[in-house]
Structure 1
């Protein structure tokens, strides 16, 4: 992984990877001992893949080769490189070697498919030959100082991606957009408790989309459109439900794959808006469709 040998198109599947092993997110035994047990079941080549991964937060007061050292090393590697897989976390050696980029800097997104037992990696946008593949390690819709502090603390490096390297004035403008997106998403979420109308919620979705465009942030759009379709269906706005579902289908196809369950579900909603599981569960309201250039 790293630099591309050829160009890839937005939505293209770059990688499908099975885990070396999975570990439950909640364990009731020594994590280090559990990891050593998992490692003992791997082939020599697979164990080498594991121990070749980078790590941070390794205690310095342990004797190399001691049982305590071996457990601590296994745990440090896992904590640095593990990826969530529903109720588990796993080690995916190729994906783990992808570097991080904030906001518009990252150009790939990975998702776990439980039914396949695999992680899939898709291109969020067109990536040119020779360009580095970057993913995202956490939610980067935060100011630069907060992002850098988190990455330094958790992964041991100071981010110098294209967004974190912006001149101060441009960085502040980017930070303002990212913080505003998070704030608007929180406001959008209050619709679930009946605090805002469906029309207001959809208006917020449009504003979030506009800011995502302005920032060049390509991720999370499928879910945003699907959430807007949910609001529209709840209020029995068939036209808006179909329009938002069309957008969700398109962007889920880029982010998760055209064969993903989410894309297929949106395809059904486009064909029959009234088949949405929440159709008519709120009072009737014309909430409105996307109404902006979404492609």
Structure 2
């Protein structure tokens, strides 16, 4: 069971990608600081009889300059799908020099690619590197391969840093017919540099997918592929682990989602290095993708000792036991046996009781709406912090401290506001999107609480 990456998030993905399903690939965003996980549970069975790509590819390409992204990062000629019944045209853009030659293939519409890739151009083609990794890969009983610490990792320490190899726009997953989608995804991986292509396909090998080699993708590429509906052949692709295409199988079992570009378009993203991390309902790490640089970082949420596996949560950690089990089983096909889930029944019952109380307190407090909190707002904020700490929700502690800081700010209590804001900053490990904005707000509250929007609002009512 080579379980790939998931994340600290309040939802999982329900994916219906065959044909023209309009089901949303991404959940609605109730947790703004983390992206959601790709899942194979609701994947419509892929047709196994698709035709091979034409071996007689044309050497000359029609002008398709409108599909090219702006910027100075080298990009190969885009490969696009054009058909009368498509709501949009979708193209493959491959940036061979991205991240010091690691490369990146993006499957997106021409109207979307410029804002997404221009964001990455700010980072250029360089890629920050870490020293020797603080972990090694090991086969773990009942868990498949995972990452195990080879030395003590301190809370907040950067564990892993990497960039995506493949990104696909959510809308393309919904809009493209199955045949077009599978062909474009295979071409996207084919166009990566050889080492990166092998790294991507190795994820299929690790899932016991026989014969998943880079040579399987040696088809030639069209700049514009005219797809003919209903065309099928028994020799198109080898099956993946779940009976579908290998490239898509890797995407669905190893991908995560993020919103990118000016329009915040949803993308499925594969970073193979992060796919080695296994699930735990009380994980010791979490990750964040910076949308500007397209760098993914994994940080420790607590001290991780040598010999301990590095884990993070595939689901919202604040769910009760039965809900966690149902969600994991339905979407990833296994039963969680982490320490929390396999503990005594009375311990799970106590945990569930605390989690129910967290749900009651969190929603009105996190709204920062003075009219929604009917009780003692300060006491409830402090109770929420205690519950987070008791439940060992290490990845969510910054949120609890932020809530306490803002509500003390509402009451004009300077010392307490500074105290909780400082703790929020110290525990903040998510720095992309709204997480970055919240972190900056906590920094201001810790220094100049009197100047912030929340100061003394409760005392003025």
TM-score tier (shorter) = 0.7 to 0.9
Q: Is the 8 A contact 2:155 2:303 kept in 1?
A: yes
Question: Moved runs in structure 1, 4+ residues, more than 6 A?
Answer: none
- 1:128 CA drift (Å): 0.7
Q: Please name the residue that 2:249 is paired with.
A: 76
What residue in structure 2 maps to residue 91 of structure 1?
270
The structure-2 alpha-carbon separation of the partners of 1:281 and 1:21, relative to structure 1 and needing over 3 Å to count, comes to farther
What is the CA RMSD across the aligned residues, in angstroms? Answer: 3.1
Q: Secondary structure at the match of 1:3?
A: strand
Match of 1:222 in 2: 398
Residue 135 (1) aligns with residue 292 (2): no
Aligned counterpart in structure 1 of residue 329 of structure 2, from 148, 152, 159: 152
Structure 1 residue corresponding to 2:381, chosen from 196, 205, 222: 205
Query: How many residue pairs are counted as aligned between the two chains?
Result: 274
- Match of residue 176, structure 1, among 325, 332, 353: 353
Q: CA deviation at 1:191?
A: 4.5
* Structure 2 CA distance for partners of 1:193 and 1:285, relative to 1, 3 Å: closer
TM-score (norm 2): 0.53
Q: Which residue of 1 aligns with 2:236?
A: 66
Q: Any idea what the Cα deviations from partners look like across 1:167-217, whole Å, max 9, x if unmatched? A: 2121222222223222221242454272226x8333222111111222222
Q: Distance in 2 between matches of 1:63 and 1:155?
A: 30
Q: Quick one: distance in 1 between partners of 2:380 and 2:203?
A: 42
Name whichever of 7-16 and 109-118 sits farther off. 109-118
Shift of 1:263: 4.2
Instruction: Write out per-residue CA displacement over residues 205-245 of structure 1, whole angstroms, 9 at most, x where no aligned residue.
Output: 21111112222221111122223333444555444432321
How far residue 5 of structure 1 moved from its aligned partner, in angstroms, is 0.9
Q: Which moved more, 1:169-178 or 1:2-11?
A: 169-178
**How big is the shift at 1:162?**
1.0
Which is higher, the Rg of structure 1 or of structure 2? 2
Deviations 1:230-273 (Å, cap 9, x if unpaired)? 34445554444323211211111xx337xx94545422331111
| Of 200-209 and 243-252, the range deviating more from structure 2 | 200-209
Alpha-carbon distance, 1:25 to partner: 3.1
Q: How do 1:137-286 residues align onto structure 2 when only pairs under 5 Å count?
A: 137-189=314-366, 191-192=368-369, 194-196=371-373, 200-234=376-410, 236-252=412-428, 255-256=429-430, 261=436, 262-276=438-452, 278-280=453-455, 282-284=457-459
- Pair 1:10 & 2:152 matched: no
Structure 2 unmatched runs, 5+ = 1-136, 138-146, 210-231, 261-266
> Partners in 1 of 2:311 and 2:332 — Cα distance?
15
Q: How far does residue 40 in structure 1 lie from its aligned partner after superposition?
A: 2.8
SS, match of residue 161 in structure 2: strand
